[in-house]
Amino acid sequence: MAIPPDLLPGDGRFGSGPSKVRSEAVEALARAGSSYLGTSHRQEGVRSVVRRVRQGMRLLFSLPEGYEVLLGNGGTTAFWDAATFGLIRARSQHLSFGEFSSKFAKAALAAPHLEQPDVIESPAGTHPLAVARPGIDLYALTHNETSTGVSMEIRRPEAAEPDALVAVDATSAAGGLRVDPAQFDAYYFAPQKCFGSDGGLWIALCSPAAIERIEAMSGARWAPASLDLGIALDNSRKDQTYNTPALATLFLMREQLDWMLDNGGLEWSASRCDRSAEILYGWAEASSYATPFVAKPDERSHVVGTIDLDPGVDAATVSAVLRANGIVDTDAYRSLGRNQVRIAMFPAVEDHDVAALTACIDHVVASLST
Ligand SMILES: *Cc1c(COP(=O)(O)O)cnc(C)c1O
């Protein structure tokens, strides 16, 4: 089935990670190619890009004095493993409400040197709240649960012990959702979502309390060097990583960060996501066959939207037809098992492309039912 060309979005990438990389950033990389790619990450050319990423993050998130930007290789998943060595002292609490938030909980559960974590679960499509408890030294929150399209406001649990840390998986949220840095100690993410780059790197915005914990834990308990946050801290302070990073990934992230900052910063990029979300959820609510999966409007993510389709409309077929027409990665998260489409609305995605996507879905569904 061919969708009429005038209905198609200008860019058909709606995947939740890897996600749309802006052509302007790719072109800038191509132009810088011969003087940047293939050069040493210990020299100024690459270090200046890392320095700009670290400075740019401070500006974008208005980080208070004393906060530091750390980075390392291996993406968010590697950061979870590093955190089980160097950020959780003995016992963590995890809010588990989807595939990603459950994974950090599993990593803490499997770590033989940690006490059993306190895991608070809620059904897919909702989120639980943290509960301050004695002996919890790290609260693990997720700003945006990418598998279900649920976002939650980031707030320190009331009555947590004074030196307890709040660590936030912001992989799909950072750069697209608003956050108050006073409410977190570690806000960590990877560049393949709102930062319109490639995977394989982690970035963590760390408060003075988190830095203090990292320094106290490093050396106090064995950790593999590649997962030692103390080593990552030392290297980050020199605008380097412990081992070789992907230079293209760093460059594309710097481009996206500068694009956000040049246009007005986090408020600007979050507003882009707000507009896309208004279009997507507004369409679903008005539709006779589509419904936002997340029941509570204020928990509906503005960066990853999940839309249930009526049983009479097969979402997998809709996504397959869209894919054949160049509109890719609208499939529901594999393990969620719902008759659903999932649409990334990261800052790089144009709101008019989201509108075009909804028109394409309407066209496909009407054609399938005749
Ligand atoms: C994508 C994603 C991850 C996994 O990131 P990797 O860089 O692939 O390890 C973790 N958490 C959330 C919320 C995500 O969206």
Three-state SS annotation for 173-228: CECCECCCHHHCCEEEECCCCCCCCCCCEEEEEECHHHHHHHHHHECCECCCHHHC
Tell me which residue of 170, 207, 181, 182 sits closest to 60, measured CA to CA: 181
Note the pLDDT of residue 109: 98
140 CA distance to ligand 1 middle (Å) = 14
Note the pLDDT of residue 65: 97
359 CA distance to ligand 1 middle (Å) = 30
pLDDT bracket for residue 370 (50, 70, 90): confident
Can you tell me which atom of ligand 1 is nearest the CA of 145? 13
Strands (E) in 76-163, as ranges, are 92-96, 118-121, 138-142, 144-145, 150-151
Can you tell me which atom of ligand 1 is nearest the CA of 202? 7
Which of 77, 148, 333 has most ligand 1 atoms within 8 Å of CB, for mutation? Answer: 77
75 CA distance to ligand 1 middle (Å) = 7
Q: Whose CA is nearest to atom 12 of ligand 1?
A: 171
Q: pLDDT (tens digit, 9 = 90+) per residue, 1-25? A: 999 999 999 999 999 999 999 999 9
- Chain centroid, CA 25 distance in Å: 19
Tell me which residue of 225, 185, 206 sits closest to 70, measured CA to CA: 206
Report the interhelical angle of 44-60 vs 247-263 (nearest 10°).
Answer: 40
Residue 285 tokens read as 């609510």
Q: Whose CA is nearest to atom 2 of ligand 1?
A: 171
242 CA distance to ligand 1 middle (Å) = 21
Which of 79, 104, 172, 333 has most ligand 1 atoms within 8 Å of CB, for mutation? Answer: 172
Instruction: Enumerate the domain spans of the chain.
Output: 5-21+265-368, 23-263
Domains 5-21+265-368 and 23-263 share a fold: no
Bridge partners (DSSP) listed for residue 341: 307, 331
d(CA 83, CA 214): 9
81 CA distance to ligand 1 middle (Å) = 13
Query: pTM for the whole thing?
Result: 0.98
Give the CA distances from residue 307 to residues 14, 37, 321, in Å, rounded to whole numbers and listed in that order: 13, 40, 17
Can you tell me which atom of ligand 1 is nearest the CA of 170? 13
Can you tell me which atom of ligand 1 is nearest the CA of 76? 9
Residue 258 tokens read as 């500068």
Tell me the three state secondary structure of residue 165.
strand
1 CA distance to ligand 1 middle (Å) = 34
172 CA distance to ligand 1 middle (Å) = 7
Q: Whose CA is nearest to atom 14 of ligand 1?
A: 171
d(CA 89, CA 167): 13
Helices (H) and strands (E) in the chain, counts: 10, 12
pLDDT bracket for residue 112 (50, 70, 90): very high
When pLDDT is averaged across residues 101-118 and rounded to a whole number, the result is 98
When pLDDT is averaged across residues 48-75 and rounded to a whole number, the result is 98
CATH class of this structure's domain 5-21+265-368: alpha beta
Q: What are phi and psi of 169, to 5 degrees?
A: -75, 110
Give the CA distances from residue 69 to residues 66, 215, 331, 369, 370, in Å, rounded to whole numbers and listed in that order: 10, 15, 34, 52, 55
327 CA distance to ligand 1 middle (Å) = 22
d(CA 187, CA 205): 5
When pLDDT is averaged across residues 39-66 and rounded to a whole number, the result is 97
Average pLDDT taken over every residue of the chain: 97
Which of 146, 329, 335, 346 has most ligand 1 atoms within 8 Å of CB, for mutation? Answer: 146
pLDDT at 79 over 90: yes
Q: Whose CA is nearest to atom 7 of ligand 1?
A: 75
Note the pLDDT of residue 168: 98
Give the CA distances from residue 141 to residues 93, 144, 171, 313, in Å, rounded to whole numbers and listed in that order: 9, 9, 11, 35
69 CA distance to ligand 1 middle (Å) = 18
Q: Residues with beta carbon inside 6 Å of ligand 1?
A: 17, 75-77, 100, 142, 146, 169, 171-172, 190, 199
CATH 3.40.50.1580 fits 23-263, yes or no: no
Q: Whose CA is nearest to atom 5 of ligand 1?
A: 76
d(CA 110, CA 183): 28
Can you tell me which atom of ligand 1 is nearest the CA of 192? 7
Instruction: Give DSSP secondary structure letters for 279-348.
Output: HHHHHHHH-SSEEESSSSGGGB-SSEEEEEE-TTS-HHHHHHHHHHTT-B--BPPGGG--SEEEEE--TT
Tell me the three state secondary structure of residue 364.
helix
Strands (E) in 50-91, as ranges, are 68-73
Do residues 185 and 166 make contact, with C-beta atoms less than 8 angstroms apart? yes
Q: pLDDT (tens digit, 9 = 90+) per residue, 227-286? A: 999 999 999 999 999 999 999 999 999 999 999 999 999 999 999 999 999 999 999 999
d(CA 78, CA 186): 15
d(CA 60, CA 52): 12
Q: pLDDT (tens digit, 9 = 90+) per residue, 188-227? A: 999 999 999 999 999 999 999 999 999 999 989 999 999 9
